[in-house]
Structures are given as C-alpha cells and as structure tokens.
Copies of this chain bind each other. A is one copy, B any other.
Amino acid sequence: MKTLSGTDLSVQIGALRLKNPLIAASGCFGYGVEYAEAVDLSTLGGVAVKGLFLKEREGHPPERIVETPSGMLNAIGLQGIGVHRFIREKLPELRQLRATVIVNICGSTLDEYVELARILSDAEGVAALELNISCPNIKEGGITFGCSLHGTFDVVSAVKKVTPLPVIPKLTPNVTDVASFARASEEAGADAVSLVNTFLAMAIDVETRRPKLSNIVGGLSGPAIRPIAVRMVYECRRAVKIPVIGMGGIASARDMLEFIIAGATAVQVGTANFVDPFIWGKLLAGVTDYVRRHNIARISDLVGTIDTTSREKQWISS
C-alpha cells in the first residue's frame, strides 16, 4: 500500500502483508476496541490483542503496575476473557473496525496452544497468531517453553501443524542467547519472531519492606529497556531469515526507525500507548517523513540496513 507520495510502507510477515510496520503490542491495547475512539484501527499495520488463554482468567490482585525510571513493571497475570468470549464479543467489532488482528495466545501446556490455534483458525478475522511463550509474570504461562530451546521448537511446530495462519512466537529477553531461540523458532517453521517481551524485575517499598507488586516480581517495559531490545533484534536479524518484529520502549518515530534499521521488519508499541494513545498517527507521520527525506522507496528496503563498516574501519585503525 503506497502513501500519496509514493512511499511504500507495507511489509510482509509470512503470507501476511501489513499495510505498514506499526503494530499495537499485546497487553498494552486491551482488545483493541477500547482504543477505537483514539485511533482508526484500520490505519495500523496490526493490532496484537491482549494475551488469551482458553479460559477466562482473573489475573493477579493489585498492585499490578509500578512506575520505574523511564519504565514500568507490570504483573497483570494475564487477566482475560478467554478465547471463546473473545471470538463472540470482541472479534466481530474488530472486523467491523477493519483491524488486522494478531491474537496473542498463552497456554499452560502444549495442547492448550494447539487447541487455541485450532479454535482461532476457524474464527473469522484473525490475521496471525502470536505465541506468548515469554510472559514473566505467571508460572504456568508459556515461560517454561520460552526459556527452553526444545520447548520453543516443540510448541511452534505443534501449532504450525494445525493452523494455516502465520505463527509468530514471542521471545523472552530473559535468556543468555536470544538468537538461538529465534533459530529454534525458524527451524520449527515460525513465520516470524517477535521480541522483546518484558524483563523480569522487581521493586520494593523500603518503608514497608514489601514488594510493590502483589506478585512480587513483574515485567519491565518502556524506554528504559530500549537499548537492550534493539541489541536483541539486531542479533536475531543476523541469526535468522524470517522476519523479526521488534519492540521494547518505542516512543517516537526515531525509536521505531532504530528498530527497523537494527533489523525489525515490523515493530510493536506497548507502554508508549499508555502515555499517548494518539501516538500512532505521529509515529506513521514521522516514519513517512524520514523515508521521504532519505529517498527510500519502500520501508522494507530500510530493514536491517545498519552500517557497521565504517566503525569497524575506525576500530582497526586505532
């Protein structure tokens, strides 16, 4: 899809063509419908809805979030309405709003992921599945898969077998070598990988000596983590051929471009949407302006174009 100026912002994720590389991150955009008043969902590359289990879940008791320097911790505990109510109550409205819906799914067992994938493949209006194998906040969530190469391989290949939809495992940053997880995903047939989920972290109220979150630990997101996330996207891009969807602290068009240049074919924005629900138009305008100024015909031409050569030269010369 071209903009007026002829700039092509569209990107390809497996069989799925997104009209632009800007996706609302899971868990930071409700079920999408909550934001219809702030942004025309059809203008987004995609909307990753809040992580869904098969069943409804209550999540953790408050406090569920706490602000930290340039970031926030969350331990929501994947409160959610479950896949069936989602299909019945939210999907029709999302279809009507012409959103490109990416469903983020979570299971306690491999079979649950498979079952979720089956159910959602039959539903109308689902564009892709993002496998949340990286939520740091609940023990029974996919983190046992996400922290094991075998687990990652197994869950991705099992889900691939039962769905024609693009499958995007979402990787945790809480590992020594994230690129190996991207590789395991690729080998298992993933259409793309997305990263990063949040960093396991905690905050303590020193007056009461209690953790600030009811769950004791939570996940760190927001600008604070951006430099780590950019590095991980860079590493994954060099490790795999499938597209990398990057996220972690994006709050401006400049940040979005940083991820794309590091190697992200598309990006997601989470925490920044809490601060500015009108951010989406600003991000797209900023990126459009950049590609125009730099005479880039297709945004996909920018992906992974980080230039490390001259630095290496300088390095050798010293």
Contact = CB atoms under 8 A, between A and B. Distances in A.
Interface of A: 58, 60-61, 68-71, 73, 147, 174-176, 199-204, 206, 208-211, 214-217, 220, 222-228, 230-231, 234, 249, 254, 257-258, 261-262, 290, 305-308, 310-311, 314-315, 317-318
A261 B176 contact: no
Given A176-B176, A210-B307, 11 more contacts: A58-B318, A61-B315, A69-B70, A69-B222, A70-B224, A175-B175, A203-B258, A204-B230, A209-B305, A216-B311, A224-B224
Given A203-B258, A216-B311, A258-B206, A227 B306 contact: no
Contacts of A228: 199-201, 220
A227 B68 CA distance: 7
Contacts of A261: 204, 206, 209
A210 B70 contact: no
B147 A176 contact: yes
B224 A202 contact: no
B311 A226 contact: no
One complex includes copies of this chain to the number of 2
Contacts of A176: 147, 174-176
A258 B204 contact: yes
Contacts of A249: 69
Contacts of A262: 202, 204
A290 B207 CA distance: 9
Q: Which 9 A-B pairs have the closest CB atoms?
A: A201-B227, A69-B223, A224-B224, A69-B70, A70-B70, A202-B231, A206-B257, A201-B228, A175-B176
